Amino acid sequence: MNNFTKYSVQKEGRIELHDQLNLTGAEISINTLPAGASVPFVHSHKLNEEIYAVLEGAGYAVIDGETVALNAGDWLRLAPAAKRQFFAASDQELKYICIQVKAGSLEGYTMTDALL
């Protein structure tokens, strides 16, 4: 059994990597909204925070009624209870990664979790 899983993303739109990577502690999706499009619903979570990385393009998110501009290179962390919806700019698509993990579950990171 390998201690790793590799998967190559081949399509645009939305892809969830949970099954492809056999993830056990996170969900990761890659999302592309065409220019002028939006996620068609407002949502929040019970337990999971979300981390967004904007890869390309521009747009905005409405978070708890506040509009937040998004551009390539931006990172955004949302608490589980935050009500959110994402929109691409009218003239360009918005491509981003969403990482979903259980809030408060990180016990060690970087060097505190490394075995040397």
Q: What is the pLDDT of residue 66?
A: 98
* Residues of the chain under the 70 pLDDT cut: 1, 12
Q: What is the pTM of this model?
A: 0.89
Nearest to 97 by CA among 9, 3, 5: 9
Which residues, including other chains, have CB under 8 Å from residue 34's CB and lie 6 or more apart? Answer: 88, 93
The class that CATH gives domain 14-104 is mainly beta
Average pLDDT over the chain, rounded to an integer: 92
10-34: pLDDT as tens digits: 876 788 898 889 898 999 999 999 9
Nearest to 31 by CA among 57, 5, 64, 6: 57
